[in-house]
Amino acid sequence: MSSESNKGASQPKRILTTGNYACAEAAIAVGCRYFGGYPITPSSEIAAYMSRRLPQVDGTFVQMEDELASIVSVVGASYAGAKAMTATSGPGLCLMSETVGLAFMLEAPLVIVTVMRGGPSTGQPTKASQSDVMQTRYLSHGDYEMIVLAPGSVQECYDFTIRAFNLAEKYRTPVIVATDGIVGQMMEPVVYHSDFEIIDRKAPQVPPEKYKPFEVIDDDLVPGMAVAGSEYNFYVTGLTHDFNGSPDMTPERAVSLITRLSDKIRKARPEINDWEEQHLKGAKTVILSYGINSRGTPETVERLRQEGHKIGFVRLKTLWPFPDELMERLGKMGVKKVIVSEMNYGQVIREVERFRHLGFEVSGILIPTTIPFSPDFIYEKVKKEI
């Protein structure tokens, strides 16, 4: 375990470590001081690392009795003022779904790292997968928006976990970092930066006697957040509620609350969404991938370009909210075909297909396997398509 120093996160540090450890160390660096979790392969190293690191920085690690309790305790800790997180994998994320809905309704900032493995059910605990993309989006019942980041390297596990906390705090919403069994457990050189921005949640903007927990003052639709232990009194409920937190079962309130909560994220899409692009200029075909499965694609693209094909590459760094702007950009740039390459039986491709009217065909390399596609494999598949 590579935790011996970096306690105050002062100097950037280059080390060799795993994605799971990088997620955990990033959380410490950005100020996470509460972790409630439950062991599950292939995420367990995050809990183990936090159990060692958090007490060193006056934080709290607790192994709860199940994932239901883990995520609820994280919401509680968030409302006591802590930056808080949990980590799990698909089956555990299933159990957390109800409380992700609660966290969205209570506007509780928190981070969940889910290390994707093969499913459904117990599936393939020790293997990688990208089959939980839709799970991360539609965990809870009801209308809501999720922010989901997809690291493809150990470095990105560190960087994206920091960003996840900042987004959670800024928009007062749960944020998921969706890694996978390979990124989580493989070792790579990584730089632990220390000069990054740290965003803290918006404090109440009025004195206690005037405070209403869900009253929005700013254009960003994010209300100031009071926490337990302060001068502020407030009541928060998963029931549809008015500005004061009081349950309100009128259709008008359902509309105003749900649209405000969702629009808070939708409006921020240009700031939240992030992707990498290569050789888009003049490209007629674009391969779209993300996470661990994007690692082999650039080599394939270079090889095809050397053969004279007009082909480019985009890699999603954020999966949700879906980057509609990227699709519009591909349409405007005259792309004629988007090939979605993912380690599942077709998930992100459904989103891309929504944009066929922009003038590009959509096809997929969609295999619910546990091994990322090699450059040769992608080459053979793409070659048949162009």
Partner 1 sequence: MTTSNDSIPSDISDDYPEDHPLHGRLNLDRFIFCPGCLIGTAITSITSCLVERGLTSKEYAIVSGIGCTGRSSGCFKAPAFHATHGRAIPFATGLKLANPELEVFVLSGDGDLFAIGGNHFIHACRRNVEINVLCNNNGIYGMTGGQVAPTTAIGDYTSTSPFGNIEPPFNLVSLAAASGASYVARWPGYDVLRLKKSIFAAMDNPGFSFIEVLAPCFTQLGRKNKLGDAVGMLDWLKKQVVIKTDCPPQDAIYSREKQKIICGEFVNSPREGFTQKLQKLREVAQSKKR
Residues within the interface to partner 1 (CB under 8 A): 3-4, 33-34, 36, 52, 55-56, 58, 60, 62, 64-66, 68-70, 72-82, 84, 98-99, 102, 106, 226-239, 244-247
Residue 286 contacts residue 301 (beta carbons within 8 Å): no
Smallest distance from the beta carbon of 37 to partner 1, in angstroms? 12
**Nearer to partner 1 (CB atom), residue 41 or residue 230:** 230
Whole-angstrom CA distances from 199 to 111, 187, 217, 275, 318 are 14, 29, 19, 21, 19
User: Does 321 sit behind a cis peptide bond, omega within 30 degrees of 0 on the bond before it?
Assistant: yes
Neighbours of 336 (CB within 10 A): 14
Minimum CB distance to partner 1, residue 130 (Å)? 29
β-partners of residue 63 are 37
Integer Rg of the chain from CA:
21
End-to-end CA distance of the chain: 46
Least CB distance to partner 1 at residue 12 (A): 22
C-beta closer to partner 1: residue 39 or 247:
247
Closer residue to partner 1, CB minimum distance, 49 or 192? 49
- The nearest distance, CB 72 to partner 1, in angstroms, is 4
3-class SS of residue 111: strand
| Residues 187 and 353 sit within 8 Å (Cβ to Cβ) | no
Q: Closer to partner 1 by CB, 54 or 314: give it.
A: 54
d(C-alpha 306, C-alpha 300), whole Å: 10
Q: How far is the CB of 205 from partner 1 (least distance, A)?
A: 18
Residue with tokens 């992030």: 274
Nearer to partner 1, 37 or 119 (CB): 37
Q: Cβ distance 173 to 356 under 8 Å?
A: no
Nearer to partner 1, 36 or 323 (CB): 36
Residue placing its CB nearer to partner 1 in the complex, 15 or 186: 15
C-alpha to C-alpha distance for 174 and 107, rounded to whole angstroms: 8
174: cis peptide before it, omega within 30°?
A: no
C-alpha 250, offset from chain centre: 33
